[in-house]
Amino acid sequence: MEEQHKRRVRYKGTHPRKFEEKYKEHDPEKYADTIERVISKGSTPAGMHRSIMVQEILDFLQIQPGQKGLDATLGYGGHTRRMLEQLQGSGHIYALDVDPIEIVKTKERLERAGYGPEILTILQENFADIDRIAAKHGPFNFVLADLGVSSMQIDDPGRGFSYKVEGPLDLRLDPGQGVSAAERLKELTQDELTGMLVENADEPYAAEIAAEIVRTLRRREPIQTTTQLKAVIERALSALPDDGGKRDIIKKTCQRTFQALRIDVNSEFEVLEAFLGKLPDVLAPNGRAAILTFHSGEDRMVKKAFKLGKKQGVFREISEEVMRPSAEECRQNGRARSTKMRWAVKDGSETKYQ
């Protein structure tokens, strides 16, 4: 019996209500015309990630054919692909990512572009373990770390990274490790919640939000979804005067609260600290490292580590000031606005992993 052709899911009306109905954004490269229209408006298509400060990174790294590099945060693979182009078929890049869902898609995407195991090795590893990676594959002539969450993760309601759509309050980069954000909220005291919101996101309404979270859980009301947490934040800020600016305050508070939770759930500061401590040893003599950060806490850590490395003579040169995306890039990609780039060049002495 001939198998009946199954029709592709189409948009229902002008604006699809479910992420699953956005079939074009699930395969963005196949629908170039749609993607171009979205990008021209300064937006990022759902399911797609636009790499930030690509040219600035390439200009600094000065990648040469035959070199060996490490992309510590593979993501959508945009930076990786451009670095691979610089190798001109000679050399190798090792790329890491903890996300078991997106790493498969990115590997397939790069293989279709012609980058197979002869020049690219993709590993599901946390970049806190770069010493172990370098012991086997290093040292590296160049290292890149983009600390931002990929747009594919933000745009997928099933991952729980965005307050804008209904989804499970998860926020884990690797859903198979650790506890979800919903479970984490139950583990923390009110003081701990306040401290987390202040330390991870500089949240000015941290005390009010922490108190409302605790009150909600004590009433045995669930905070299991993204929209339930958003409702808690709205209640916490209900006393604010409704003078026209309240909506924007709630929006920014939601963004900061979700950021703080994501950082906590994934131990992002601890992971970054481990990475920065091991970075000098994985670089080859005169090796170059570039790091993109997206909020002040990360940038402070990178700045401090690079300054210490320069003082100790580990780094020959570091960026004294942060580099930022151009005004044009920020106009075309709103998610680039908070980006800061810092870089360091190792001295010419022998490295640990020879």
On whether residue 30 sits in a domain, the answer given is no
Looking at the structure, tell me whether residues 186 and 246 fall in a common domain: yes
pLDDT confidence bin for 153, thresholds 50/70/90:
low
- The amino acid occupying position 230 is K
Same domain flag for 261 and 279: no
CA distance 213 to 223: 8
**Sheet strand arrangement including 140-146:** 120-123, 92-96, 68-71, 140-146, 283-293, 340-346, 315-318
Is 125 found in the same domain as 206? no
Instruction: Write b or e for each residue in 242-265: b if 16 or more Cβ atoms lie within 10 A of its Cβ, otherwise e.
Output: eeeeeeeebeebbebbbbbbbbbb
| Chain-centre distance for alpha carbon 218 | 33
Q: What is the pLDDT of residues 117-146, one digit of tens each?
A: 999 999 999 999 999 999 999 899 999 999
> Has residue 114 been placed in a domain?
yes
**Mean pLDDT of all residues in 254-282:** 94
18 versus 239: the higher-pLDDT residue is 239
Question: Does 43 map to a domain?
Answer: no
Give percent of the chain with pLDDT exceeding 90. Answer: 67
Q: What's residue 33's pLDDT?
A: 55
Q: Which residues fall within 8 angstroms of residue 122, CB to CB, at 6 or more apart? A: 74, 94, 95, 96, 97, 103, 106, 107, 110
* pLDDT tens for each residue of 248-266: 999 999 999 999 999 999 9
Residue 307 shares a structural domain with residue 281? yes
Q: What is the pLDDT of residue 211?
A: 97
pLDDT at 9: 38
197: tokens are 């919101």
Same-domain check for residues 256 and 293: no
Asked if residue 23 belongs to a domain, the reply is no
Whether this model's pTM surpasses 0.75: yes
Whole-angstrom distance, CA of residue 252 vs CA of residue 255: 5
Q: Where are the alpha helices (DSSP H) in 147-267?
A: 151-155, 181-187, 190-201, 206-218, 226-236, 246-265
Under 8 Å CB-to-CB from 71, ≥6 apart: which residues?
79, 80, 83, 93, 94, 95, 96, 144
Report if residue 200 sits inside a domain. yes
Note whether residue 3 is domain-resident.
no
Q: Domain check: are 220 and 277 in the same one?
A: no
Do 192 and 242 fall within a single domain?
yes
* pLDDT band for position 336 (cuts 50, 70, 90): confident
Tell me the per-residue pLDDT of 283-324, one tens digit each, with 9 for 90 and over: 999 999 999 998 888 999 999 999 999 999 999 999 999 999
Q: How many CA atoms lie less than 13 Å away from 254 in the CB half-sphere?
A: 22
Q: Find out whether 161 and 305 touch, Cβ atoms under 8 Å.
A: no
Q: 325 and 284, same structural domain?
A: yes
* Domain C-terminal end among 225, 240, 265: 265
pLDDT digits (tens, 9 = 90+) for 16-37: 444 444 434 445 555 455 444 5
Percent of residues in the chain assigned helix, strand, coil, to nearest 5: 50, 15, 40
Q: Are residues 330 and 182 in the same domain?
A: no
* Co-location of 117 and 183 in the same domain: no
Q: How far apart are CA 197 and CA 180, in angstroms?
A: 17
CATH number, domain of 189, equals 1.10.150
> How many helices and strands (H and E) does the chain possess?
15, 7
Mean pLDDT (the chain) is 86
AA identity, residue 265: V
pLDDT band at 149 (very low <50, low <70, confident <90, very high): confident
Q: Is 45 domain-assigned? A: no
* Residue 314: CA count within 13 A, CB half-sphere: 18
- Domain total of the chain: 2
DSSP line for 144-168 = EEE-SPPHHHHH-GGGT--TTS--B
Neighbours of 1 (CB within 10 A): 3
Residue 4 lies in a domain: no
**Domain-terminating residue out of 242, 265, 288:** 265
Q: What is the CATH number of the domain that holds 320?
A: 3.40.50.150
Whether residues 117 and 243 fall in one domain: no
Choose the final residue of a domain: 222, 244, 265.
265
- Residue 4, classed as helix, strand or coil, is coil
Tell me, rounded to whole angstroms, the distance of Cα 132 from its chain centroid. Answer: 22
Enclosing domain of residue 116: 54-152+269-346
Contacts from 214-217 at CB under 8 Å and sequence distance 24+? 214/189, 214/190, 217/185, 217/186
What's the CA gap between 78 and 152, in Å, rounded?
Answer: 12
In terms of domains, do 58 and 146 share one? yes
Q: What is the pLDDT of residue 244?
A: 77
According to DSSP, residue 327 is labeled: H
